[in-house]
């Protein structure tokens, strides 16, 4: 009975297409919790490994971002899958949403197996040429040897999340998020310190947490989603898969590129020294909490914009974006103020080295202030994705990446403080947002 009532409420929202702050938040919050899974896993790894050693702390940054770049191929596909599912939902073709979901799930399962095998073969060779410190390189490989198998759980999870976000039934994502945290934290402590497995223990704990969160979400889908209404039956439809892939391929390339340059950023930092790398991992770890807010709001923007377009309500795209941005500032600004006031204990939670705590302050401040530019930048970028223009978004990504790498190359030849490297992120998000706004204003979609 409750599910029927919820279904009527969701249908009413789509009929009215009047997304209030409350309605947006009710959709965003569970998505935020699900994104928090991946970020809390990385944060927990950094918190524990910071007390193992500076090498392990820095290596977990490089290894984590390398894994994230591979993960983003699946995430990019899931975003395109979410757009198609949301479009079918907005058109009230509910049975098509389930059919589309299963094509995406099958593809992501096969992609996970392929990427695991390719990573085991090629990651050690490629990273050997990129990382200068032998100690850092060996720690990275030990982490990836176990972490890469997490794709077998995280990719199916992405398919399930795309379906639930696409039909705006996102409350179950909270349960999956909390499950991952409850598994990851004690398992990290047990494996890293109890069994003295170091960085390998962190990787095993992370993959195990993803497995448990997948189990929770799959159980929810099986028990609570109406299979007949949403057409949730196994079937292979190459036509639908081609449609999803034609949209998703550009998202896959876009997100892979966005994280790949993030990895190159940390490679540049690694050349400055192991201390600078450890500092940057602390800053990145804290920034993950703010990126959860940005990514959740931006991801839901794409889904809601897709629903609006499916219902013929293009004129409401910009008002929706403005509401989401204001909601993001209302959520993020108090957290930024808290982080600024308590920056010493926050940074100190990662390390007992006073030199690292002192060196981290300037890049920490630069990172926090970037939130004011990243939020609108990614909201408008994902609104463009929601129109189905994933190829255009990829072009925006390429042009921005060229400018970003050019700045990093220039800094590499200069003697500048670590905070200056972090300031280049401002250029990145401002360029993405500017190009997206121009497209949404002047392009017919």
> Which of 236 and 294 is assigned the larger pLDDT?
294
For the segment 282-340, what is each residue's pLDDT rounded down to a tens digit? 998 899 889 999 989 998 898 889 888 877 788 889 999 999 999 999 999 999 999 99
Q: What's the confidence (pLDDT) of residue 167?
A: 87
In 3-state terms, what secondary structure has residue 363?
helix
Out of 25-39, 219-233, 292-306, which region has the weakest mean confidence (pLDDT)?
25-39
Q: What's the confidence (pLDDT) of residue 411?
A: 86
Element containing residue 324 per DSSP (H, E): helix 317-341
Residue 46 pLDDT > 50, yes or no?
yes
3-state secondary structure 7-72: HHHHHHHHHHCCCCHHHHHHHHHHHHHHHHHHHHHHHHHHHHHCCCCHHHHHHHHHHHHHHHHHHH
Q: How confident is the model at residue 37 (pLDDT cuts 50, 70, 90)?
A: low
Q: What's the confidence (pLDDT) of residue 306?
A: 84
Q: What's the confidence (pLDDT) of residue 426?
A: 96
Q: Which two tokens stand for residue 191?
A: 């494996």
**Which of 386-424 are b and which e, b meaning 16 or more Cβ less than 10 Å from the residue's Cβ?**
bbbbbebbbebbeebbeebeebbeeeeeeeeebbebbbb
Cβ atoms of 351 and 372 within 8 Å: the answer is: no
Q: Which two tokens stand for residue 51?
A: 């007390």
Average pLDDT over residues 254-280: 86
Q: Which two tokens stand for residue 184?
A: 């990851």
267-272's contacts with Cβ under 8 Å and 24+ in sequence apart are: 267/62, 267/130, 267/131, 268/408, 268/411, 268/412, 268/421, 269/418, 269/421, 270/58, 270/62, 270/131, 270/132, 270/133, 270/136, 271/132, 271/412, 272/418
Dihedral (CA of 403, 409, 415, 416) sign:
positive
Burial label, 26 (beta-carbon count in 10 A; 0-12, 13-18, 19+): middle
Residue 197 pLDDT > 90, yes or no?
yes
Residue 250 pLDDT > 50, yes or no?
yes
Q: How confident is the model at residue 8 (pLDDT cuts 50, 70, 90)?
A: very low
Q: Which two tokens stand for residue 441?
A: 């204003």
Which residue blocks in 50-197 are alpha helix, DSSP H?
54-90, 94-130, 134-147, 151-166, 172-189
Out of 8-17, 72-81, 143-152, which region has the weakest mean confidence (pLDDT)?
8-17
Q: What's the confidence (pLDDT) of residue 396?
A: 93
Q: What's the confidence (pLDDT) of residue 400?
A: 93
Angle at alpha carbon of residue 388, lines to 385 and 393, rounded to 5°: 45
Residue 9 pLDDT > 50, yes or no?
no
Q: Tell me the average pLDDT of the chain.
A: 88
Q: Which residue has the tokens 């934290």?
A: 185
Q: Report percent pLDDT > 70 for the chain.
A: 95
Q: What's the confidence (pLDDT) of residue 173?
A: 84
Average pLDDT over residues 31-54: 79
Cβ atoms of 385 and 79 within 8 Å: the answer is: yes
For the segment 114-167, what is each residue's pLDDT rounded down to a tens digit? 999 999 999 999 999 999 899 999 999 999 999 999 999 999 999 999 999 888
Q: Which two tokens stand for residue 295?
A: 């990514």
Q: What's the confidence (pLDDT) of residue 218?
A: 94
Among 420, 429, 372, CA closest to 400: 429
Q: Which two tokens stand for residue 92?
A: 């009230």
For the segment 343-379, what is each residue's pLDDT rounded down to a tens digit? 999 999 988 888 888 999 999 999 999 999 999 999 9
Q: What's the confidence (pLDDT) of residue 286?
A: 92
Q: What is the residue extent of each domain of the chain?
A: 18-442
Dist. CA 445–CA 241, nearest whole Å = 22
Q: Which residue has the tokens 């100190």?
A: 348
Q: What's the confidence (pLDDT) of residue 50?
A: 83
Q: What is the reported pTM?
A: 0.77
Dihedral (CA of 265, 266, 267, 273) sign:
positive
Q: Which two tokens stand for residue 152?
A: 């077998």
Q: What's the confidence (pLDDT) of residue 174?
A: 80
Q: What's the confidence (pLDDT) of residue 90?
A: 79
Average pLDDT over residues 98-110: 94
Q: What is the dihedral of CA 130, 136, 137, 140, to 10 degrees?
A: -110
Q: Which positions ≥6 away from 441 have C-beta within 8 Å?
A: none
For the segment 277-293, what is each residue's pLDDT rounded down to a tens digit? 889 989 988 998 899 99
Residue 17 pLDDT > 70, yes or no?
no
């Amino acid at each position: 009975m409750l599910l029927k009532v919820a279904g009527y409420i969701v249908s009413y929202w789509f009929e009215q297409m009047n997304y209030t702050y409350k309605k947006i938040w009710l959709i965003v919050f569970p998505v935020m919790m699900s994104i928090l899974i991946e970020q809390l896993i990385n944060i927990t790894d950094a918190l524990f490994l910071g007390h193992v050693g500076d090498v392990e702390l820095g290596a977990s940054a490089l290894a984590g971002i390398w894994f994230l770049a591979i993960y983003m191929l699946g995430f990019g596909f899931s975003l395109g899958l979410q757009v198609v599912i949301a479009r079918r939902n907005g058109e009230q073709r509910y049975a098509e949403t389930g059919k589309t979901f299963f094509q995406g799930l099958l593809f992501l399962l096969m992609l996970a197996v392929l990427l695991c095998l390719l990573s085991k073969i090629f990651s050690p060779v490629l990273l050997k040429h990129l990382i200068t410190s032998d100690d850092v390189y060996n720690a990275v490989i030990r982490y990836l040897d176990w972490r890469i198998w997490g794709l077998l759980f995280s990719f199916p999870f992405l398919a399930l999340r795309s379906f639930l976000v696409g039909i705006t039934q996102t409350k179950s994502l909270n349960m999956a998020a909390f499950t991952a945290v409850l598994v990851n934290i004690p398992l990290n402590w047990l494996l890293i310190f109890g069994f003295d497995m170091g960085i390998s223990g962190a990787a095993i704990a992370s993959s195990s947490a993803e497995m448990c969160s997948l189990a929770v979400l799959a159980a929810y889908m099986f028990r609570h989603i109406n299979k007949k209404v949403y057409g949730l039956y196994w079937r292979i439809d190459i036509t639908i898969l081609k449609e999803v892939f034609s949209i998703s391929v550009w998202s896959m390339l876009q997100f892979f590129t966005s994280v790949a340059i993030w990895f190159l950023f940390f490679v540049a930092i690694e050349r400055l020294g192991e201390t600078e790398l450890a500092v940057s991992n602390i800053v990145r770890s804290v920034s993950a909490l703010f990126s959860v807010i940005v990514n959740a709001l931006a991801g839901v923007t794409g889904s809601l914009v897709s629903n609006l377009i499916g219902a013929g309500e293009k004129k409401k795209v910009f008002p929706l974006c403005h509401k989401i941005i204001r909601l993001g500032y209302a959520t993020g600004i108090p957290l930024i103020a808290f982080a600024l006031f308590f920056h010493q204990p926050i940074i100190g939670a990662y390390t007992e080295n006073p030199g690292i705590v002192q060196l981290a302050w300037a890049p920490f401040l630069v990172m926090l202030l970037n939130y004011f530019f990243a939020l609108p930048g990614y909201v408008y970028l994902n609104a463009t994705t929601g129109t189905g223009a994933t190829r255009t978004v990829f072009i925006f990504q390429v042009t921005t990446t060229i400018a970003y790498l050019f700045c990093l190359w220039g800094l590499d030849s200069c003697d500048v403080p670590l905070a200056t490297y972090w300031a280049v992120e401002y250029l990145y998000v401002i360029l993405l947002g500017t190009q997206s706004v121009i497209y949404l204003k002047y392009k017919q979609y």
